[in-house]
């Protein structure tokens, strides 16, 4: 009986390991397929005009997506400036001050709910909150929508990283008479710096490829971004519009813009992983 149970556990263990390995291989296969396909189709769109000129009318060769690239950069930077401080402060509150209180539990639950909400719902919310009252689409509304997506990611990452800091560091600083807020900024932030930066980079990489919220907020524009209070060109909506068009030139530009976003997201993700690995190796 004992031998039969041992064999059963070994077979079950091997089956689970094989299934996990097969699943990982399938995921890597499709990831490699997507990367290769986007690179093969998008690299042909890269030239000087693609990065420096405005889009051309349908059927006209040439042009580029420079305005969309700049618009995406502006929207992402503003959303990061809005969402990251709110996320960090929320994470600090949950970790250091009120994490076990009723308010802290409510905040944590709310962040988890926001993290699971589809981004298109966030776009509709900001559309109702900002776009309808002011009467037009704007890049600022797009930044607010993306900031809402950033906040829970940064907050949970900050909370987790601060919770990993040894309690002895807090106790030592407090024993020397340092106030709690100064201990958090001077000691805990320095100890959790790498993990917090990783979370910020991963959150930024996530919003870089969001399309649905911008369809309801920033929309798009064929012109250079001159004001954040007007419809603002961005790469994701440009890809959506160009890919759905019947014009070969626009479809090719959509592949090029897709490659540009994919390269940016991959570079940001790899940078975050590198920072996290360096932090781990330094601690060990």
What's the pLDDT tens digit per position in 125-176? Answer: 999 999 999 999 999 999 999 999 999 999 999 999 999 988 888 888 888 8
> What's the mean pLDDT when you consider all of the chain?
90
- Give tens-digit pLDDT for 175-225: 888 888 888 888 899 888 888 998 899 899 889 889 999 999 999 999 999
- Give tens-digit pLDDT for 91-114: 999 998 886 888 889 999 999 999
Which helix (H) or strand (E) segment is 77 a member of?
Answer: helix 66-92
Say if residues 114 and 150 touch (Cβ distance below 8 Å): no
Residue 273 vs residue 254, higher pLDDT: 254
The pLDDT > 70 percentage for the chain reads 95
Q: What is the mean pLDDT of residues 64-90?
A: 95
Confidence of residue 275 (pLDDT cuts 50, 70, 90): confident
- Give tens-digit pLDDT for 234-246: 999 999 999 998 8
Say if residues 152 and 111 touch (Cβ distance below 8 Å): yes
- The phi-psi region of residue 63 (left if phi > 0; otherwise alpha if psi is between -120 and 50; otherwise beta) is left
232 SS3 class = coil
Say if residues 191 and 134 touch (Cβ distance below 8 Å): no
Residues 6 or more apart in contact with residue 131 via CB below 8 angstroms: 137, 138, 141, 216, 217
State pTM to two decimals: 0.88
Predicted confidence (pLDDT) at residue 1 exceeds the cutoff of 90 = no
Q: What is the mean pLDDT of residues 267-283?
A: 72
Residue 171 is predicted with a pLDDT of: 84
Say if residues 202 and 153 touch (Cβ distance below 8 Å): yes
Residue 144 structure tokens: 């607010």
Alpha-carbon radius of gyration of the chain:
23
C-alpha dihedral (100, 104, 108, 110), degrees to nearest 10: 150
Residue 282 is predicted with a pLDDT of: 46
- The phi-psi region of residue 46 (left if phi > 0; otherwise alpha if psi is between -120 and 50; otherwise beta) is beta
Query: Is the torsion defined by CA of 218, 31, 118, 111 positive or negative?
Result: negative
């Amino acid at each position: 009986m004992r031998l039969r149970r041992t064999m059963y556990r070994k077979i079950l263990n091997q089956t689970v390991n094989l299934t996990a390995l097969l699943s990982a291989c399938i995921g890597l296969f499709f990831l490699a397929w997507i990367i290769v396909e986007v690179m093969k189709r998008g690299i042909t769109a890269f030239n000087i005009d693609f990065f420096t000129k405005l889009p051309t009318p349908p059927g006209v060769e040439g042009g580029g997506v420079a305005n969309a690239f700049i618009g995406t950069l502006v929207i992402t930077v503003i959303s990061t400036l809005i969402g990251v401080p709110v996320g960090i402060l929320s994470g600090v509150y949950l970790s250091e001050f009120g994490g076990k209180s009723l308010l802290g539990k409510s905040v944590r639950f709310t962040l988890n709910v926001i993290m699971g909400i589809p981004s298109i719902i966030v776009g509709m919310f900001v559309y109702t909150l900002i776009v309808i009252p002011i009467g037009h689409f704007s890049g600022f509304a797009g930044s607010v929508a993306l900031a809402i997506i950033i906040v829970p990611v940064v907050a949970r990452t900050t909370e987790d990283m601060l919770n990993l800091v040894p309690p002895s560091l807090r106790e030592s600083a407090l024993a020397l008479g340092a106030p709690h807020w100064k201990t958090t900024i001077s000691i805990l932030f320095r100890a959790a710096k790498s993990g917090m930066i990783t979370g910020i980079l991963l959150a930024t990489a996530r919003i870089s490829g969001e399309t649905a919220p911008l369809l309801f907020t920033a929309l798009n524009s064929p012109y250079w971004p001159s004001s954040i209070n007007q419809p603002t060109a961005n790469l994701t909506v440009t890809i959506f519009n160009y890919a759905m068009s019947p014009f070969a030139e626009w479809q090719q530009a959509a592949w090029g813009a897709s490659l540009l976003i994919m390269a940016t997201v991959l570079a940001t993700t790899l940078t975050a992983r590198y920072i996290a690995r360096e932090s781990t190796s330094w601690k060990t």
